[in-house]
Amino acid sequence: MTELYYPLRSLREGHWFKLICGASFQHLPAIRNLVLAYTLAGADCIDVAADPAVVSTAKVALKVAEEIGAEARERGFGFRSLPWLMVSFNDGEDPHFRKAEFRAEDCPPDCLRPCEAICPAQAIDISGVISDRCYGCGRCLPVCPIQQITARSYVSTPAAIAPLVLQSGIDAIEIHTQVGRLEDFRRLWRAIAPWVSHLKLVAISCPDGDELIDYLRSLYEIISPLPCPLVWQADGRPMSGDIGIGATRAAIKLGQKVLAAKLPGYIQLAGGTNQHTVPKLKRLGLLPSSLTSNPQSLHPSSSPQIAGVAYGSYARTLLIPVLNQLEAIEMEAFSTFSSHQSQGSSFLSSPNTGRTTLSGLTQGTQNKSQPPRLEEVPLLLWRAVELADSLISQLKSTSTNARPASEFPQ
């Protein structure tokens, strides 16, 4: 099987899984670990910010996954080939392309800091917003007692970054748009079009709105013909999958609306997707029940069914317990290293310091002044992959040892 075969087969068979790291999410350590865990669990696509540093970090994680993929398969996980790497652009203001910000010095001394408590990305502390962690969900904005939190939005400049990003081995792009922005979309497409022949997939993400289907048909006219598959991302309730069971309803409802229009291309859900999405789709008969006879075809079957699901906030939240444990190990390693440096001793030569003493979790490395990476902490690595697998295996049948995420020790 080729690297090209598996993602295309997933689209056709209705078990396409995409991890959304976040169009505004730039916390490189978390991105590296998310990409690694979900790749080893069998993800088909990884969607990251159109930022060269983020793309580079994701590629490093993919390389590590390739190196230890055999062990993942031996453990029963779904890794078969590397997922496609996708970057996202926008043609106007969009909740996925923004950052929260506020002046911490303006906060009342007795503030209970509800913004910090509600932030799913752990992107707020006493200094304010940690920009690279913020992915723009906006949950902090309405809870501020003095309403001082604002959102700083930005629009992609593809003329400047598309050559840099697309020449670096990107497999797919996603364009975020909204009803009524046809000319904005057209300008963005003109800048991206020269690079489309190098892509394996183009996706268009759009929330619901009046005259949505007519708008999507107009977009299709602009981008046709395409040399690669097209995915319509039904963006139900952006960045809400970790809120609760009801968050997925908007995504499924929008998916049904787009399916009924019978647009050329595949339909994939996003925005509010979580552990309840796939069971709900199965109950509604919206996932394919049998395999296609020609999985290598670029075009979907005629039956109106959902081809896959993208997970963002829920997928990230699912791994937070593991990532927090890894961060604690990193802090301990840094603290130990700093202590020995201040004492003028050699951190490398001490047999009782560094990674090998961190609760017996980590494997020794040559340079103990660097924080441990997820693959260097096997217990946490495979726990993270198990958690990722608990979500991916809902869509796929390759995993044999999936268990509900609630069964894992936190």
CA distances from 391 to 202, 276, 403 (A): 24, 10, 9
Sign of the CA dihedral with 182 first, then 183, 189, and 190 last = positive
Tens digits of per-residue pLDDT, 359-387?
445 554 444 446 679 999 999 999 999 99
Tens digits of per-residue pLDDT, 97-150?
888 999 999 999 999 999 999 998 899 999 999 888 888 888 999 999 999 999
Q: Which residues pair with 203 in a beta bridge?
A: 174, 231
DSSP-assigned states of every residue in 204-266: EEE---TTHHHHHHHHHHHH-S-SS-EEEEEE-STT-TTT-GGGHHHHHHHHHHHHHHT-SSE
Confidence of residue 341 (pLDDT cuts 50, 70, 90): low
Q: Which domains does the chain have, with CATH numbers?
A: 5-94+157-315 (3.20.20.70), 98-153 (3.30.70.20)
Peptide bond just before 225 cis, omega within 30 deg: yes
Scored b (16 or more CB within 10 A) or e, 155-185 reads ebebeebbeebbeeebbbbbbbbbbebeebb
| Composition of the chain by helix, strand, coil, percent to 5 | 40, 15, 45
Q: How many residues does the chain have?
A: 410
Amino acid letter for position 198: H
- Report the share of the chain in percent with pLDDT over 70: 80
CA distance 96 to 25: 9
CA distance 293 to 125: 53
Confidence of residue 406 (pLDDT cuts 50, 70, 90): very low
CA distance 257 to 145: 39
CA distances from 307 to 8, 82, 228 (A): 10, 19, 16
What is the pLDDT, as a whole number, of residue 403? Answer: 41
**Is the model's pLDDT at 408 over the cut of 50?**
no
Name the one residue in this structure whose structure tokens are 């497999």.
171
Closest CA to 369 of 326, 338, 327, 329: 338
What is the pLDDT, as a whole number, of residue 129? Answer: 93
Tens digits of per-residue pLDDT, 240-264?
877 888 889 999 999 999 999 999 9
- Residue 106: phi, psi to the nearest 5? -90, -5
Confidence of residue 220 (pLDDT cuts 50, 70, 90): very high
Tens digits of per-residue pLDDT, 279-320?
999 999 999 864 433 444 444 545 579 999 999 999 999 999
CA distances from 393 to 11, 292, 407 (A): 15, 19, 15
Look up the pTM and report it.
0.86
Tens digits of per-residue pLDDT, 266-279?
999 999 999 999 99
**For the chain, what is the mean pLDDT?**
84
Mean pLDDT throughout 213-239?
95
CA distance 175 to 187: 12
What is the pLDDT, as a whole number, of residue 164? Answer: 65
- In whole angstroms, what separates CA 42 from the centre of its chain? 14
Tens digits of per-residue pLDDT, 142-156?
999 999 999 888 787
Token digits of residue 366 = 């040559």
